[in-house]
């Protein structure tokens, strides 16, 4: 069976047949942009649709500089069906879709639940509707380990129980998975891969693309690097009285480039006709739980830079510990996490320095 990967890319360089085009919704965002880089470097053509509400078109320059190839870009509100459907009409060579487009701030989703449900669910409905109308089967959906809530045990497998979402954001991920499943049950012709991310961190080693949080970062690593460079006075460690070895929360921090490559493995699987069922679910994590304190220590060792920090009270909604069992992704997708956490955090630091050098942060 023809599989799609580096060797095919090399074959493809001599092949004049058109390269498969992948539509990446939300492709100028943090995870989307890193995935576009890996798709292009694996021989795919890419069209990005994004409304730039939480990202910047300059990311496309970074992608072009890294890969030597500029992806097509259409500024588009993915929650607007007509706009999405026009992209499919204008690009009849789209063979598969990856959806990253969503509002994604857990805390904000509690304040603005209707906006989150309207935006995130309209996007998934628009994409699936348009795919059906245009005969596009391949779909990769950006889901999250938040669907597991506080798991009864770790590591978490794909058959670990999905629990009631702890936020409207997490609920939109769960509902989206159900929408995809129900569409397939109704007879929709889909090859859908659901990737449940653990904690994406880091930046591309080139320091040309990375995470660009708007305002005060909500997530640990961008806040940590801003504290290390002096943008923030200090990092607050949200609680050291959890039921964990050092009292701080444990997570599975997955390097952003490793995570991006998981999407290429999913697209390769779909394009290679290797799906074992119309919908497949994979946990994308390292399989290693790391505490907040361990992450701070790893950052300081890898960079030689001190992180000013203090122990603060717990953050509402935080769970104590969650990390992945990535065996299924390893064995079925042929994907493995490869980047050591120290390298990931060094790349995050280099990216923070690059942002300062460009006067962006
Ligand atoms: C990690 C740990 C905090 C900030 C996020 C997304 C979720 C999903 C997974 C995509 C926790 C602690 C944080 C700070 C801290 N992603 N922390 N001080 O909450 O695990 O989940 O990634 O779907 O949607 O929200 O990530 O980085 O916010 O927190 O001590 O300033 O760091 O308590 O233990 P989280 P996070």
- Cα 305 to Cα 67: distance, rounded to the nearest angstrom: 31
Neighbours of 1 (CB within 10 A): 5
pLDDT of residue 3: 42
pLDDT at 345 over 60: yes
Question: Which ligand 1 atom is at minimum distance from the Cα of 217?
Answer: 31
Q: Tell me: cis bond preceding 7? Omega within 30 of 0 counts.
A: no
Kindly state the average pLDDT of the residues 71-82.
96
Could you tell me how far CA 129 lies from the centroid of its own chain?
Answer: 23
State in Å: Cα 98 to ligand 1 middle. 24
- Mean pLDDT score across all residues of the chain: 94
Is 44 among the residues known to form the active site?
Answer: no
Token representation of residue 280? 């497949």
- Cα 37 to Cα 44: distance, rounded to the nearest angstrom: 10
User: What are the beta bridge partners of residue 74?
Assistant: 49
- Contacts (Cβ under 8 Å, ≥6 apart) of 293: 237, 240, 246, 247, 248
Location of structure tokens 């539509």: 23
**Phi, psi of 297, rounded to the nearest 5 degrees:** -60, -40
Closest residue (by CA) to atom 13 of ligand 1? Answer: 220
State in Å: Cα 218 to ligand 1 middle. 7
**What band does 361 get if pLDDT is binned at 50, 70 and 90?**
confident
At 295-304, the pLDDT tens digits run 999 999 999 9
Pocket of ligand 1 (CB under 6 A): 106, 144, 146, 197, 199, 218-220, 223, 235-238, 249, 251, 292, 315, 318
- Cα 344 to Cα 347: distance, rounded to the nearest angstrom: 5
pLDDT of residue 16: 59
Token representation of residue 32? 């989307």
pLDDT at 18 over 80: no
Contacts 24+ apart (CB under 8 A), 168-171: 168/109, 168/110, 168/113, 168/116, 168/117, 169/103, 169/104, 169/105, 169/106, 169/108, 169/109, 169/116, 169/120, 170/106, 170/109, 170/144, 170/146, 171/117
pLDDT of residue 317: 83
pLDDT of residue 139: 98
Give the single-character DSSP code of 331: I
Question: Which ligand 1 atom is at minimum distance from the Cα of 221?
Answer: 27
State in Å: Cα 219 to ligand 1 middle. 5
User: What are the beta bridge partners of residue 196?
Assistant: 143, 283
At 142-166, the pLDDT tens digits run 999 999 988 999 999 999 999 998 8
Give the single-character DSSP code of 232: S
Question: Residue 187: which of 245, 139, 132, 225 has the closest Cα?
Answer: 132
**What band does 107 get if pLDDT is binned at 50, 70 and 90?**
confident
Closest residue (by CA) to atom 3 of ligand 1? Answer: 238
Question: Residue 180: which of 131, 114, 116, 125 has the closest Cα?
Answer: 125
pLDDT at 39 over 50: yes
Question: Residue 267: which of 147, 144, 141, 179 has the closest Cα?
Answer: 141
Closest residue (by CA) to atom 4 of ligand 1? Answer: 220
Kindly state the average pLDDT of the residues 315-322.
91
Kindly state the average pLDDT of the residues 88-111.
94
pLDDT of residue 239: 97
- Cα 270 to Cα 268: distance, rounded to the nearest angstrom: 5
**Residue tagged active-site, from 30, 116, 148, 169:** 169
Query: Among 174, 219, 255, 293, which is best to mutate for testing ligand 1, by the most ligand atoms less than 8 A from CB?
Result: 219
Between 37 and 53, the more confident residue is 37
| Contact yes or no for 318/106 (Cβ under 8 A) | no
- Among 19-33, 98-112, 225-239, the range scoring the smallest mean pLDDT is 98-112
Kindly state the average pLDDT of the residues 39-63.
95
pLDDT at 255 over 90: yes
> Strands 250-251 and 290-291: what pairing?
antiparallel
**What band does 15 get if pLDDT is binned at 50, 70 and 90?**
low
- Cα 185 to Cα 278: distance, rounded to the nearest angstrom: 9
**What band does 236 get if pLDDT is binned at 50, 70 and 90?**
very high
- pTM of the shown model: 0.94
Give how far Cα 302 sits from Cα of 58, 306, 307, 341, 348, Å. Answer: 29, 11, 12, 9, 11
- Cα 252 to Cα 324: distance, rounded to the nearest angstrom: 7
Query: Among 289, 318, 341, which is best to mutate for testing ligand 1, by the most ligand atoms less than 8 A from CB?
Result: 318
**What band does 9 get if pLDDT is binned at 50, 70 and 90?**
very low
Q: What percent of the chain has pLDDT over 70?
A: 95
């Amino acid at each position: 069976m023809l599989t799609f990967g580096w060797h095919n890319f090399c074959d493809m360089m001599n092949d004049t047949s058109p390269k498969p085009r992948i539509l990446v919704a939300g492709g100028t965002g943090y995870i989307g942009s890193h995935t576009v880089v890996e798709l292009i470097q694996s021989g795919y053509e890419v069209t990005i649709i994004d409304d730039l509400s939480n990202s910047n078109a300059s990311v496309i320059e970074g992608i072009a500089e890294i890969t030597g190839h500029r992806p097509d870009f259409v500024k588009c509100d993915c929650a607007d069906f007509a706009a999405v459907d026009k992209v499919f009409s204008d690009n009849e060579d789209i063979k598969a879709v990856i959806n990253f487009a969503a509002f994604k701030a857990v805390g904000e989703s509690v304040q603005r639940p209707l906006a989150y449900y309207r935006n995130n669910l309209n996007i998934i409905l628009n994409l699936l509707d348009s795919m059906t109308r245009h005969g596009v089967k391949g779909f990769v959906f950006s889901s999250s380990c938040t669907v597991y809530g506080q798991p009864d045990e770790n590591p978490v497998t794909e058959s670990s129980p999905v629990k009631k979402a702890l936020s409207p954001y997490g609920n939109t991920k769960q509902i989206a998975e159900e929408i995809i499943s129900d569409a397939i049950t109704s007879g929709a012709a889909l090859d859908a891969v659901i990737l449940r991310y653990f904690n994406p961190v880091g930046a591309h080693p080139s320091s040309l693309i990375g995470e660009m949080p708007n305002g005060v970062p909500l997530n640990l690593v961008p806040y940590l690097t801003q504290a290390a460079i002096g943008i923030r006075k200090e990092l607050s460690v949200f609680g050291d009285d959890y039921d964990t070895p050092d009292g701080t929360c444990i997570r599975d921090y997955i390097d952003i480039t490793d995570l991006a490559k998981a999407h290429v493995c999913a697209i390769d699987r779909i394009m290679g006709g290797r799906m074992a069922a119309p919908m497949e679910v994979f946990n994308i994590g390292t399989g290693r739980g790391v505490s907040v304190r361990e992450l701070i220590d790893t950052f300081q060792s890898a960079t030689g830079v001190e992180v000013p920090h203090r122990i603060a009270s717990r953050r509402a909604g935080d769970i104590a510990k969650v990390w992945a069992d990535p065996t299924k992704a390893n064995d079925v997708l042929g994907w493995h996490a490869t980047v050591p956490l120290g390298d990931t955090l060094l790349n995050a630091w280099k990216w923070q320095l690059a942002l300062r050098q460009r006067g962006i942060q």
